[in-house]
Structure 1
Amino acid sequence: MTNGPNHGLLPHHQAAPAPMWYQPMPAAPYAMPPEADGWDLLRRIWRRKGLVLAITVLVVALAAAVVVAMPSRYTADTRVLVGVQDPNVLNVQSVLKAISPDDSTIRSEAYIVASRSMAREVAYRLALDTSPQFNPDLAPEPTWLDLLHPGYLLATVKGGVDYVASAIGLTDEGDAPSARGATETEDEHQRYIRQTIESRLLDGLTVEPLNRSHVLNISAEFEDPALSARIANSFARVYVERQLVEKRKANLKANQWLKAQVADLQAKVSESERAVETYRQKHDLLSTRSETLIGQQLAALNQALIAAEKSRTEAQANLEQAKGLADGSLDVENLPGVLQSPLILMLRGKQADLAREAADLAAKYTAKHPKRRHIQAQLRDLDSKIGAEITRIRGGLRHQLQIATEQRDRVASQLESLKARMGTANEEQVKLRQLERQADADRNMLEQLLQRTAETSHQDDLLKPDAEIISHAAVPVSPSFPPDKLIIVVAVLGGLGLGVLIALLVEKLDQTFRTSEEIEEYTGLTTLAVLPQVKRGRSRPLTHVIDNPNSVYANAVRMLTARLSFDRGSKQLPSIVMFTSTVPGEGKSHTSCSLAQSAALDGKKAVLVDLDWRQPTQHLNFDQMNDVGMLDILRDEASLEQALYHDPESGADVLFAGRNRGRETLSVSLERLRLVLQRLATQYDLVVLDTPPLVVTPEMQFLAQIADTVVFNVRWGSTTRQAVTSELKKLLQAGADMAGVVLSQVDLSQYNKYSYDDGGYLRHRHLVREAY
């Protein structure tokens, strides 16, 4: 603030220097205690526990209403064992083969049970055409609950789609019962009713294999529990009975066919056997039980030829081994039995002994020593004897080979001669074999058919179905649909989840200030005080500091006074303290009044100046008339002494706003206002200015430059962060000396849910009660 002219109003007052121009620096984020990081989300949810509980109760109530409105359905289960084996009394498996109980077969049988033909038979047996649940002609008019049922809506949409498809020719008339016209005949109507009953019956039927067993589980789910059990049992009985009927039909058909084939084959077998005997006698083809005489002789010669060839091969092999023994390539231990002569074995043994003796002498004597020469002579003599014996054996083997070769040639010659004889009879044999094969085939076929005929004739009484009902359906006592417990549990969990999401969304959308930490984080300014909300029923806001000096509110006002003194580096209050806010109704008038009263009660000379000319409130706080005030002083219609009001209870002086004369009020001299305020600063220890909100009047920037310090009032949980930071930016750009922010009208019962650290002072319930 620059020095200005005195005009005789301030003989001794020196204006304070103007504050430096600066931009608000972003404050460091509030450092929450370590335990707050983990509990922050839970704190947010706990703050909105009422909302979460309300949403949960609403969702559960809706779920309960849906459960009550939905019709109950009962499920009855029948179990059928597939693949039961018949007793093996007669072997008719080739005619009537039983079901093989593999997985694919079990699934196929499940489709058979859930077929329309089965449903048609069950509907006929149970007379379901008389039930309103199945016959659409007997169904009552749907209620509004039925109209809202998902199944009814789905059926209505499906019927409309079928009607449109039939109208444009996408389906055949016979395949779209829902597209019936006005010219529908009685037969077409009955067919529509029958198909509708079958469809509704199959819609409530479920057939599936039980785990990995061969058991089919037939489940029927309908509104009537007794009817559900009857339907499940009827499907099982119809399935078992149909299997038995089909087996009997197949058995009867097979029996009739077998009897006709037996009669034909008997005549054919007789004719074939006569033809075989006639041809055999005509061509003199005598035979034993299995073949002709020539064939038997040929077989014997073949066996003899094989034996002769084997003898020759063995002789040839023995001769080759004898040659190997002669040239020394074959060891005597490896000789076959025919070549292991005792003489050769003896000579080989002596030869081995002499060889060891020669080896010993060679280690002692030279080659010309008489002993060594004698040993060598003995070895040569043994070699000559062994060679002579081998030559004799080779001669005998060569003679054996010659004899075996001659025997083989003789047998081969006889075989060729017999083959030539047999070639002349081949043509007759071929024809004979054809006749025999035909007769054998006819005979075998006749025997098999006779056996099958005998079996099928006695099988009818032993036929059993391949399935057996192992568990009949009992009438269920409790509904299976809707699952009320599951729906309620899901509704509770879903309601809690939805409530938590909405609570977090509400917390996210809450852009107001709830704690002093948020103020410091978003504005970069210090929170001077947290003023609780004072209810008007217990005491007037004007006298609350006086009537309750030990209340939380009074202590908070004294904390504001101390912070204003300490923040300036001294224990003295600034001369001129300006209070302002973003919008009206944020409690700045109440705060400024309480500060002036508290300072006066502490022995300081304080004056409260109401500069909110458009909406003055201080005269109402003191129950006075707004006849004389600052506007009258500025218009030279009253002196300062005439306009001042002295509060007898607190000892503070008050300068009301004065009478507002419309446009004339807007033309007041701001320079004269500055002089009046400077004069008050010379006469009082503390001058408290109650100014209008920033969004109301543009004079605030001028007043901010006059004041020694500015206190910005923010209402708890009301003013948005964007509005506060925007107006604070304007004050800072105007050069205001910002002391900090006062968080007013705080609900202490809710404040502790937001604040992480307030020193514990505001958390005591008895202090909270005193604030009111």
Structure 2
Amino acid sequence: MNQRLTGADALRLSSARVSPRRVPDPDSIDLRALGRLFLSRWKTLLGVSLLAALVVYGLLTLSAPVYSATAKVLIDPRRTEVLSGSDIISTREPSQQVINSEIAILTSNVLIEEVINTVGPERIATLSSAPPEAADTLAMEQLVWTVRENLSVWSEADSFVIVVSFTATDPELAAEVTNTLVDTYIARQIETRRMSLGQAAVWLEEQLEILEDRIAQNEETISVMQTESLLNNGSTLENATQQITTLNNQLVAARAERVTAEAQVQQLNELLEKSGLEEASSQISSPTLETLRARARQLRQQDAVWAESVEPDHPRRAAILADLEQVQAEIGAEVRNVIAIRRGEYDVARMREQSLEETVGRMEERIVQISRGDIDLRQLERETEAARRTHEAMLTRLTETRTQERVQSAEATLVERATVPAGPSAPRPKLMGAVAGASAFAICVVALFFGEMTVTTFRTARELEAETGLPVLASLPLVPGRQRKNAFSRFGADPYSGYAERIRHLRTMLLMRDETVISTSVSVLSSVAAEGKTTTALALADMAVRAQRSAIVVDCDMRRTSLQENYHWAMQHDFAGYLRGTCSLSQAIHSPEELAFDVLTSNRPHPDLADELSSLWLQPVIEQLKESYDLVIIDGPPLLAVSDAAIIAKAADKRIYIVEHERTTRNEVRDGLAILADFQLPVDGMVLNKVSGRDAAEYRYG
């Protein structure tokens, strides 16, 4: 919000008359200024802190004392292992989620209602804010709410300990409610676990009865099915399987024999067709053929011997050849006999194979028939076996459940029982009073610091100069409201007051810079109304008169005549009459008896004349007044309120800008100076008005 003017704007507004200065960082923190601020407000800070402490101390002293009883519970799942199997009810490992769940149970309405019934509703009703005669009629919901308001349950850090605290005006009641709540919580844990185990045992017994009936029915059905299968099929599936295995082995052997015989017969037939009987006989081995082949070789040898000496028709050789032919015929007969035997063996092997195939086929059909009936039997046997295993497991589980039900214990353990408190836990007036005082002091310090850091107005002339780049001609102290109207009238009685000195300094800065100038006009400007513009103009005129200078104040605000509103002069002619041409300028000027200078103002507001104001005709009026007065002070409307303020300011030789101390915002000053910059009207200086408190003390002299 602390927006600054650019360097170009500053040069335009000051007409390059202000020497360049170092621009401070708007985000910087003046520690000395903060220190002075806190020192100047130390009485306020201390007073607020003491007041807060006393108020809190007094209020707490009047309140009734309350007592708090505390018990502690440890969430510990450790227990004695009686059975080696897993628990029917699983034990939770302690964690923050488990702790939060147990805290919710401790504050549940179910548990609290049981505690109320145990302690007594009439005793709990004494904690309610209801009148005593209505205590008996309080509903259970109201009693539960009353207990919850006074009950605190939390977990200790880095542990599995839950702290239960109850507050009451009766110390014995506080201890009794706390212990009853903890005891009920632990008892309900055991009861809940035993109830769950009992329900599990009942369910297991019901399931065991169902399984026993199912097993008995299945066993009876299996016996009937086995008997029917044996009667219908003549054997069991196992026997049929063994038989078909044997037949399959025989069939494989028969097929091998048939293939071998078939191959031999086919080979002999091919030799007979291609090579003849003799070549075929060489491929057949038998004792008869071996003898005949040996006899044939012997006869060939004899024929060969005789062939060397005799012709084929020789009787001896002819006999040998006849014997050889006889042997060959016998070999052929033997070969045909062997082939016939081989064909017979092939036929036997083929028939045996066919017989075995038919037998195997019939056996397979039989096995299929047996298997169809055996599938249901095997399925029923598997179901029965599974039911037996389930029955055994559930029977074991039932035994464990009954045992765990007898030895069940709670997860929570009471580690600290609540005792009757010896003294009240609240209120603690001294401590809370000190805390309230310290808090109030801290809040005040923060508020001062925040207010100082976020200020959007001007507090010192240095800030105003740094923000605008224009010189501050004077810093005028604050004049009380009732004295503000005639503040300048006290200049004679107290000529060295702070206000008089600052007005005198402003007069000097305006009139003594150029001593060659005989008369001059000054426009007193401001951003908004009520910044002390009119008072400053009147005081400046009075101080000029005291310096032997003639002065006149011209009120150019046609919408609001501030001078006439304050003094109520009876004027025959006024400034408005001059503007309308009903009187001359000298007739419009008024010389009040209570003032040492003249004024040019209107009897009443004339908004219609405000639109007719123009520097073209106002400038001659000011020049005419300068011929009669050394100082012409123009008091116009605020720059940000109306548009004719800049036109009025254009008619003056000099312009001063009034900024109210700690009221006029930086944005308002920036916008007002920007309007003057748009009209190319330089500002001769700034005036920080209504400076109050410690900031105004430095301007006092004498």
The TM-score with structure 1 as length reference comes to 0.45
- Larger radius of gyration, structure 1 or 2? 2
The TM-score with structure 2 as length reference comes to 0.49
